[in-house]
């Protein structure tokens, strides 16, 4: 695939993922990292209210397009099937209680997604609740 075609495919897949999640591209970061043999993709969400970032999911592949295809498949096939968790938290030194929602296989994964890229000592988590299945 030529670079121009690859860029077009990357943009299409990113748009599809955002639409499937019901988010705008402004609220998503597609973080690609080149490894020795694979490319890692971390999909990060940005909460527009408190401007905090959280990990949605990560995947690995041989190319950016393949990584995005895997992410798109995850969002369509698996994301809605995972458990839904509510995390109530405060940033140390602030008074505002925030509520964030995560899809994860278990409570540990939900907390990993919450703490992604953060210093644990800068946040107080008051509760993590498994939400009822609708």
CA atoms within 13 A on the CB side of 31: 15
Contact 45, 53 (CB under 8 A): yes
Q: What fold does the segment set 82-134 form as a domain?
A: Ubiquitin-like (UB roll) (3.10.20)
**Residue 14, C-beta contacts closer than 8 angstroms, at least 6 positions apart:** 25, 28, 30, 68
Distance between CA 132 and CA 122 in Å, rounded?
29
Domain ranges, ordered by start, for the chain: 1-81, 82-134
Superfamily of domain 1-81: Porphobilinogen deaminase, C-terminal domain (3.30.160.40)
Look over the chain and give the mean of its residue pLDDT values, rounded to a whole number.
Answer: 93
Q: What is this structure's pTM?
A: 0.89
Residues 34-76 pLDDT 10s: 988 999 999 999 998 888 999 999 999 999 999 999 999 999 9
Given a cut of 90, is residue 29 above it in pLDDT? yes
pLDDT of residue 51: 87
């Amino acid at each position: 695939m030529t670079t121009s075609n690859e860029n077009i495919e990357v943009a299409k897949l990113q748009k599809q993922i955002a639409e499937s999640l019901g988010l705008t591209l402004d609220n998503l970061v597609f973080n690609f990292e080149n490894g020795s043999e694979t490319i890692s993709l971390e999909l990060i969400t940005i909460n527009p209210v408190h401007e905090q970032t959280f990990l949605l999911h990560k995947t690995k592949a041989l190319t950016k397009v393949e990584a995005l295809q895997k992410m798109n498949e995850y969002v369509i096939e698996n994301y809605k099937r995972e458990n839904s968790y509510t995390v109530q938290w405060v940033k140390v030194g602030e008074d505002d209680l925030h509520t964030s929602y995560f899809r994860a296989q278990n409570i540990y994964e939900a907390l990993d997604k919450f703490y992604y890229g953060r210093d644990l000592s800068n946040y107080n988590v008051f509760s993590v609740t498994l939400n009822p299945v609708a």
